[in-house]
Structure 1
Amino acid sequence: MRLTGVLRNVVSNTLTHRLEKEIVIKAPWGNIAALTWGDPAKPPVCLVQGKLDACSSFRPLVSLLPDDYFYVSIDLPGNGLSDHLPKGIRYTAVDLVPSIVEVKNHFKWDKFAFVGHSLGVLVGKYFILAYPGQITKAVELDPMPAYFSWEVNQISVWYKLNYERYYGEQYLKWNSGKETAPKYTFEEIQERMMRARGLSKEATAHILERSLEPAGDGLYRITYDQRMKFVTTPQLSASNLQQLYTSIRSPTFVILARNTIDGGFYDKAPFLQDPKSWPHNNYKYMIVDGSHDIHVENPECVVNEISQFLKFGLANS
């Protein structure tokens, strides 16, 4: 038995008053696992998690969002209960875009709204660029990886970090599979995640319910794909990013965490906090106090603004 069933007794089901359903979507490389909430006949909202996360991390936010939508939150390949990509290949942000394509095709959506967190934002942006007009509105929750930039004189550093290291010193480790993952007690794993991400016990429970499995003797191991620790982002300069992202026409609402800003992660992308830099007048942002995982730790501080944006877009801005 997977740990999922155990932890779901710990995570209160009263968090969401609507039915939560586990689904599996078939893809060419394997299964995409997901959670859904609400009526499939209602307008769809696709939610995509960040790196080394799980679709259940959106549960606290979805529990507060209006009943007017059908919410589908997916585990990206190599995360949660989704299958890993075939061994040997490198995970890149662009290689994760087909996951959204498969979800869209499975439900036969023509258009849908999108909510992404961290790496999920970058995946969503490349979907928008590849399939313009299909995402009606985009909510970006602390989109840090989407704004990583590399100048021309940094190509060598970018290549060595993302490829030389992968195919050299880390190849066997990152492709060895979950069987070689270290084993810990549940309390040890939870403490490590709380320290690394600054999360509460309740918040970590939402993620760990889909990221652990029993390993014998009362111990557990983490099941996410080790290759997901270093997902390759495109080699684009800050000016490239601005030109590319501001060309997008889908209404976009960005929520930035104060701790991430103070850490300097957006210093190379000043246009992110300048709506006048977006020529289509389709952009707004807000800054909230807190850390990178604000949507799972304190969704109350963003739910009203997200609800208004999903309903009205930028009409009330």
Structure 2
Amino acid sequence: MSAPVEEIRLNLPHIELAAHLYGPEDGRPVIALHGWLDNAASFARLAPKLTGMRVVALDFAGHGHSAHRAAGAGYQLWDYALDVLHVAEQLGWPRFSLLGHSMGAIVSVLLAGAMPQRIERLALIDGLIPYLGEAADAPRKLGEALQAQLDLPNKRKPVYEKVEQAVVARMKGVGAVSRDAAELLAQRGLMPVPGGYTWRTDARLTLPSPLRFTRAHSQAFLAAVQCPVDLVLAENGLLKGELPLLQMLEALPFNVTRLAGGHHLHLDDEAGAASVADCFNRRFASA
């Protein structure tokens, strides 16, 4: 946890993003993408254990120390993909690898499928494709999303009197995490407000998606990925029992490794981070 890390700011044409920078300057270029409502601290245990890699762990827009999107803008998966491309352009990386956890893994797959010429390799942790939807449900889902946007001004983020209360809440949140992991995420994710602390995340991040991919959409993106893919599945992760996803994997040339742990196995403890790092280090070294 004491490994050197540099805090950087990336001034993109449309938004300013924050990031943690790890590894040697001449290392393999890697952009790390965290999960929904997490932040760059998601890679605080894992990134220092990756050898020979120059890792830029982003705070996605609306998360951590990154700016929130402008009024009227949204947080769709393809918006994040464009942000990643702008980051690569600013770093001068014509080709790079992606390390993604959960939502970050989903964004990684979409970007690799859409622009395969830019992506060298994918290293994914307990994430692969978005939640699926049926075409027949699309009008109702869009209506719910539009109504949620209209109701947003009346929505208030929770305020915790003490940081400890926020840590406990994060431990029980979506993709439950260990206390150590929750503390790391909270250190970067909280800000002081009257009455205590609240999360820095943009309230719009909790709005329902206006559109979901069908199974055919997801299969098309997976089939379009041309680079090597290494996927770590947590035995007790969020993808456990996801039959449609597991069926898709059977037909794909991806390297799949199942490891003990929960959805945040790369952050929950040092042992989990070491196991994930060993898996990715072996694959990257053989590339």
Structures share a fold, TM > 0.5?
A: yes
Equivalence map 1:94-109=2 (5 Å): 94-109=78-93
Contact 1:150/1:158, CA 8 A, preserved across alignment: no
Partner residue of 2:249? 273
Partner residue of 2:235? 258
- Please give the alpha-carbon distance, in whole angstroms, between the structure 1 residues aligned to 2:211 and 2:54: 31
Confirm whether residue 156 of structure 1 aligns to residue 139 of structure 2.
Answer: yes
- Please give the alpha-carbon distance, in whole angstroms, between the structure 1 residues aligned to 2:264 and 2:210: 20
- Please give the alpha-carbon distance, in whole angstroms, between the structure 2 residues aligned to 1:82 and 1:143: 23
Confirm whether residue 224 of structure 1 aligns to residue 201 of structure 2.
Answer: yes
Question: Which residue of the other structure, out of 162, 180, 184, is the alignment partner of 1:206?
Answer: 184
Percent of paired sites with the same residue:
20
Contact 2:32/2:99, CA 8 A, preserved across alignment: yes
Partner residue of 2:212? 235
Which amino acid in structure 2 is aligned with residue 208 of structure 1? A
Which amino acid in structure 1 is aligned with residue 135 of structure 2? V
Which amino acid in structure 2 is aligned with residue 299 of structure 1? A
- Please give the alpha-carbon distance, in whole angstroms, between the structure 1 residues aligned to 2:123 and 2:149: 35
Structure 1 residue runs of 5 or longer lacking an equivalent are 1-12
Please state how far the C-alpha of 1:50 moved relative to its aligned partner.
0.8
TM-score (norm 1): 0.82
Please state how far the C-alpha of 1:156 moved relative to its aligned partner.
2.6
Contact 1:93/1:232, CA 8 A, preserved across alignment: no
Structure-2 change in CA distance of 1:273 and 1:257 (3 Å): same
Confirm whether residue 93 of structure 1 aligns to residue 77 of structure 2.
Answer: yes
- Please give the alpha-carbon distance, in whole angstroms, between the structure 1 residues aligned to 2:9 and 2:239: 39
TM-score (norm 2): 0.90
| Cα-to-partner distance string for 1:114-166 (whole Å, 9 max, x where unaligned) | 1001111122222223322211110111116x2411122222343234x2332
- Please give the alpha-carbon distance, in whole angstroms, between the structure 2 residues aligned to 1:256 and 1:233: 28
Question: Which residue of the other structure, out of 19, 25, 28, is the alignment partner of 1:43?
Answer: 28
Structure-2 change in CA distance of 1:221 and 1:270 (3 Å): closer
Which amino acid in structure 2 is aligned with residue 172 of structure 1? P
Confirm whether residue 171 of structure 1 aligns to residue 152 of structure 2.
Answer: yes
Contact 2:130/2:213, CA 8 A, preserved across alignment: no
Please state how far the C-alpha of 1:310 moved relative to its aligned partner.
1.7
Equivalence map 1:60-79=2 (5 Å): 60-66=45-51, 68-79=52-63
Which amino acid in structure 1 is aligned with residue 60 of structure 2? L
Equivalence map 1:135-150=2 (5 Å): 135-143=119-127, 146-150=129-133
Which amino acid in structure 2 is aligned with residue 166 of structure 1? A
Partner residue of 1:81? 65
- Please give the alpha-carbon distance, in whole angstroms, between the structure 2 residues aligned to 1:138 and 1:233: 27
- Please give the alpha-carbon distance, in whole angstroms, between the structure 2 residues aligned to 1:189 and 1:242: 38
Partner residue of 2:107? 123
Which amino acid in structure 1 is aligned with residue 152 of structure 2? Y
Which amino acid in structure 1 is aligned with residue 142 of structure 2? Y
